[in-house]
Amino acid sequence: MADVRLQAVRKTFGVLDVIKGVDLDIRAGEFVVFVGPSGCGKSTLLRMIAGLEDISEGTLTIGGQTMNDVDPSQRGIAMVFQSYALYPHMTVRENMGFALRFAGMDKQEIARRVQSAARILELEPLLERKPKALSGGQRQRVAIGRAIVRNPKVFLFDEPLSNLDAELRVHMRVEIARLHKELKTTVIYVTHDQVEAMTLADKIVVLRAGQVEQVGAPLDLYDDPANLFVAGFIGAPRINVFTGQVTARLPGAAEVRLDGFAERRLVIPLTGEAPAEGTEIRLGIRPEHLTEGGAESLPIEIDMFEHLGGETFAYGRSRSGETIIVSTRNGRHLKAGQVLAAGFDASKALLFDAAGLRIR
Amino acid sequence: MSLSATTPVTGAPARPFLRHLERAGLYLALSVAAFLSVFPFLWMLVSATNSSGEIIRGKLGLGDQFWINLDNFMTQVDLPLVMWNSAKVAVLSTVLTIAVSSLAGYGFEMFRSKMRERLYSLVLLTLMVPFAALMIPLFMMIGQAGLINTHIAILLPSIASAFIIFYFRQATKAFPTELRDAARVDGLKEWQIFLFIYVPVMRSTYAAAFVIVFMTSWNNYLWPLIVLQSNETKTITLVVSALASAYYPDFGVVMIGTILATLPTLIVFFVMQRQFVAGMLGSVK
Ligand SMILES: Nc1ncnc2c1ncn2[C@@H]1O[C@H](COP(=O)(O)OP(=O)(O)O)[C@@H](O)[C@H]1O
Ligand SMILES: [Mg+2]
């Protein structure tokens, strides 16, 4: 268990800026998830922590020690790769013990650690097999086992579940969460899947184009996103976004008009100062906050449904053309072509400026 | 190596006659091809049992001259020495070529550098230069180094093989970079990753390269002919060819020589056949 700290960390590949100055504090024992769209630099940042990529600028400390120029094997980390990266010419047992054997550890101690990791991960019957003879889920567990035996201070995972089918993914997600509870080691976990991020993380770091957009607990990011990007990335189905303008500044609130609903005035409560009259705004309302009934309501013509049984997603269009998703628990009676009075509580609506920054 | 790729895919069973005809044509063509490639080999075996005169007259049946031919061959040729020379040169040059060229292929694929592709093109360019054009300057270099009549003269020019470098670089493209990352996290240095991870993972690639280089080296004729002039250093290809170009060549003896010269490559091939095929298909699956 160790804390990890990044200060003004940058990475350039030639002329390409991939990580553009990241500051991050990860507490000992925390489960931190880096999430963001493909190509935003999640893997690069993780590999810099692992020591597989040089740090162009800034400092990395693990457990209080500066690690910028320390060999990967000396950083007290263990990594689980997306492709599992098991050594194909070694058995499961040899794979798990390899790093220890290489570090010159006592044979009996290696056997003990491999045995105990195999028991935790239910790999005991597979120890003499080669990776080729294992299923995807089993390989994944071996990769995790190989990390566990090293007794690392920090676990690094790079999209460990993305090669598994949906069912196994859910299963392994639960396993990883359980493992973290048991081992209480610091975990840094990379994924592009916001569901994985929401379910696993103590703390989510949302990355975009090499920069941190927001850091926070899953539900804090969900309830209180710092900008439209985070609001759009966290939460499924995606948050609905309406364009509009401020029509009046009220005490502790802004009165707004939405494009396509010109006749309505919505009063959005704010804790800070409301923007000036006429300012372009974006209003974000999550699908589950947009249901039948509620203080405010918008008429939306529905053109498609997804009935999931317990819940229904109704897809429609605002009169200015944006796709609107309404989520409802009793939507079986809805018909296409129907105009739904989609209601919401103004306190649940999120106000952003034209650049996408949150107005609180 | 498998014929299934050329077998016609006949979906409908409606036309059995046409299908059989197609089959028959295919087998006929394959038989002709097989005959053409095997016949010279058979002829060599058969001829070793006939006298030189019978061979010249074109006798195709088995004869009774085998032991006589063998006896003549053994009196004319110091077989153990010649075989030892050939084996020494072939094994050493194979091991050295593969060690050096696989390292180069691995390096070219694994390490990024500005000069990488330019340097690599230069290496590939040497494939375009025919050996005949290099022969004279190479001979002069070897001569100046005082290496004429030594086996080093054959080993040195063969070690960095552009083709084998190319072959290893291509094969390395299938070697997962995450494996190298995992090994680095496990504490291996670059040379250890190469030795303990890359080499075992790529073993069928190595096997295929071994077969290719060993055969080329064993059968190598022109360059040894130029630099090996003393009888103590000559390899079997040189000796057999010398028998064949004598004023009155005894073809029965020559055939014994060619059989003996072919035998080691055959053994190497059959021992490593499975690995060879796997290596040609790629080590990493
Ligand atoms: N070795 C490299 N050389 C040049 N560019 C790279 C290298 N590795 C990654 N990149 C670039 O850095 C960006 C971030 O990559 P990566 O960290 O893999 O993204 P993610 O894991 O978030 O999908 C991408 O645009 C990628 O093309
Ligand atoms: Mg990635």
- HEC profile for chain B? CCHHHCCCCCCCCCCHHHHHHHHHHHHHHHHHHHHHHHHHHHHHHHHCCCCHHHHHHCCCCCCCCHHHHHHHHHHHCCHHHHHHHHHHHHHHHHHHHHHHHHHHHHHHHHCCCCCHHHHHHHHHHCCCCCHHHHHHHHHHHHHHCCCCCCCHHHHHHHCCCHHHHHHHHHHHCCCCHHHHHHHHHCCCCHHHHHHHHHHHHCHHHHHHHHHHHHHHHHHCCHHHHHHCCCCCCCCHHHHHHHHHCCCCCCHHHHHHHHHHHHHHHHHHHHHHHHHHHHHHHCCCC
Query: Rounded to the nearest 5 degrees, what angle is found at the Cα of A139, between the Cα atoms of A137 and A142?
Result: 115
Predicted model pTM: 0.84
Contact partners, residue A269, CB within 8 Å, separation at least 6:
A252, A253, A346, A347
Asked if residues A249 and A282 have their Cβ atoms less than 8 Å apart, the reply is no
Q: Are residues B112 and B26 in the same domain?
A: no
- Quote the Cα angle for B268-B274-B278, to 5°: 120
Integer angstrom CA distances of residue B37 from B32, B59, B254: 9, 19, 20
Chain A contact set for B183 (CB, 8 A) = 87
Query: What pLDDT score does B5 carry?
Result: 44
Element (H, E) at A157: strand A154-158
For residue B179, the chain A residues in CB contact (below 8 A) are: 85, 87
If asked whether residues A19 and A62 sit together in one domain, one would say: yes
Using one digit for the tens of pLDDT, what is the confidence trace for B158-167? 888 999 999 9
Same domain, B40 and B167: no
Tell me, yes or no, whether B79 and B66 share the same domain: no
Task: Compute the distance from residue A46 Cα to the ligand 2 centre, in Å.
Answer: 9
Distance, CA of A109 to CA of A115 (rounded, Å):
10
pLDDT, residue B4, reads 45
Which ligand lies nearest the alpha carbon of A19?
1
- The model's pLDDT over A29-71, given as tens digits with 9 standing for 90+, comes to 999 999 999 999 999 999 999 999 999 999 999 999 999 999 9
What pLDDT score does A109 carry? 95
CA distance B237 to chain A (A): 39
| B106 and B226 share one domain | yes
Secondary element (H or E) of residue A19: strand A16-26
**Amino acid B13: pLDDT:** 53
- A13 alpha carbon, closest ligand: 1
Q: Whose CA is nearest to atom 25 of ligand 1?
A: A39
CATH number at residue A311: 2.40.50.140
CATH code (residue A131): 3.40.50.300
Q: Do A19 and A122 have their domain in common?
A: yes
Closest Cα to residue B70, out of B241, B256, B213, B208? B256
Residue that terminates a domain, selected from A167, A199, A232: A232
* Per-residue model confidence (pLDDT) at position B14: 58
Q: What range does the domain containing A268 cover?
A: 240-359
What is the token pair recorded at B268? 């190497």
3-state secondary structure of A289: helix
Among the candidates A179, A197, A232, a domain finishes at A232
Same domain, A216 and A69: yes
Q: How many helices (H) and strands (E) does chain A have?
A: 8, 21
Q: Pick the residue of A48, A98, A155 with the most B CBs within 10 A to test the interface with B by mutation.
A: A98
State how far residue B274 is from chain A, nearest Cα, in angstroms. Answer: 17
DSSP state of A234: S
> Based on the domain organization, do B154 and B242 belong to the same domain?
yes
- Asked if A206 and A33 touch (Cβ cutoff 8 Å), the reply is no
- Nearest residue, CB atoms, A85 vs list B176, B187, B284: B176
- Do B61 and B91 lie in a common domain? no
Residue A231, pLDDT score? 95
Query: Are B235 and B146 members of one domain?
Result: yes
Residues A31 and A171 grouped into a single domain: yes
Cα B281 to Cα A89, A302, B102, B167, B174, distances in angstroms? 18, 55, 17, 12, 11
A77 CA → ligand 1 middle, Å: 21
Of chain A residues 86-115, which have a CB less than 8 A from chain B?
A: 86-89, 98-99, 102-103
Euclidean distance between the first and final Cα of chain B, in Å?
Answer: 18
**Pair of tokens at residue B221:** 């004729």
Inside any domain, residue B94: yes
Shared domain check, A223 and A157: yes
Pairing of strands A57-62, A31-35: unpaired
Residue A72: list chain B partners with CB under 8 A. 184-185, 187
Contact predicate A340/A316, CB 8 Å: yes
Supply the range of the domain harboring residue B50: 7-70
Domain boundary pick from B50, B70, B90: B70
Top residue of A46, A52, A94 to mutate, by most chain B CBs within 10 Å, is A52
Neighbours of B132 (CB within 10 A): 8
The two tokens of residue B11 are 């979906």
Q: Which helix (H) or strand (E) holds A146?
A: helix A136-148
pLDDT, residue B279, reads 83
Distance A42 CA to ligand 1 centre (A): 8
Q: Are residues B89 and B38 in the same domain?
A: no
CATH number at residue B206: 1.10.3720.10
- On whether both A40 and A112 belong to a single domain, the answer is yes
Interface test with A, best of B179, B181, B185, B195 (most A CBs within 10 A): B185
Supply the DSSP symbol for A346: G
Among residues B26, B50, B70, the one where a domain terminates is B70
Nearest Cβ partner of B178 from A71, A77, A83?
A83
pLDDT tens for chain B, 285 residues: list them: 344 444 444 455 557 788 888 999 999 999 999 999 998 888 889 888 988 888 888 888 888 889 999 999 999 999 999 999 999 999 999 999 999 999 999 999 999 888 999 999 999 999 899 988 999 999 999 999 999 999 999 999 988 899 999 999 999 999 999 999 999 999 999 999 999 999 999 999 999 999 999 999 999 999 999 999 998 999 999 999 999 888 888 999 999 999 999 999 999 989 988 888 888 887 665
Q: How far is residue A208's CA from residue A232's CA, in Å, rounded to a whole number? A: 12
**Contact status, residue B221 vs residue B241, Cβ threshold 8 Å:** yes
Last residue of a domain, one of B70, B98, B122: B70
d(CA A3, CA A5): 7
Q: Ligand 1: residues whose CB is within 6 Å?
A: A 13, 16, 18, 36, 38-44
Same domain, B51 and B89: no
Which domain-ending residue is among A232, A252, A271? A232
Identify whether residues A320 and A205 lie together within a single domain.
no
Is A257 in the same domain as A221?
no
Residue A11 shares a structural domain with residue A119: yes
Say if CB A213 and CB A229 are below 8 A apart. Answer: yes
A vs B, Cβ pairs < 8 A, gives: 52
Residues with CB under 5 A from ligand 2 (ion): A 43
Tell how far CA A19 is from the center of its chain: 18
- Ranges of residues in chain A whose predicted pLDDT is under 50: none
CB atoms within 10 A of CB A236: 13
Same domain, A21 and A84: yes
Residue B35 sits in the same domain as residue B120: no
Report the domain count for chain B. Answer: 2
Find all residues with CB under 8 Å of B34, minimum gap 6, and list them.
none
Our measurement of the distance from residue B246's CA atom to the centroid of its chain's CA atoms, rounded to an integer in Å, reads 27
B40 upstream amide cis, omega within 30 of 0: no
| CB–CB contact A85 B188 (8 Å) | no
Q: Which two tokens stand for residue A150?
A: 């090293």
Count of structural domains, chain A: 2
Same domain, B262 and B200: yes
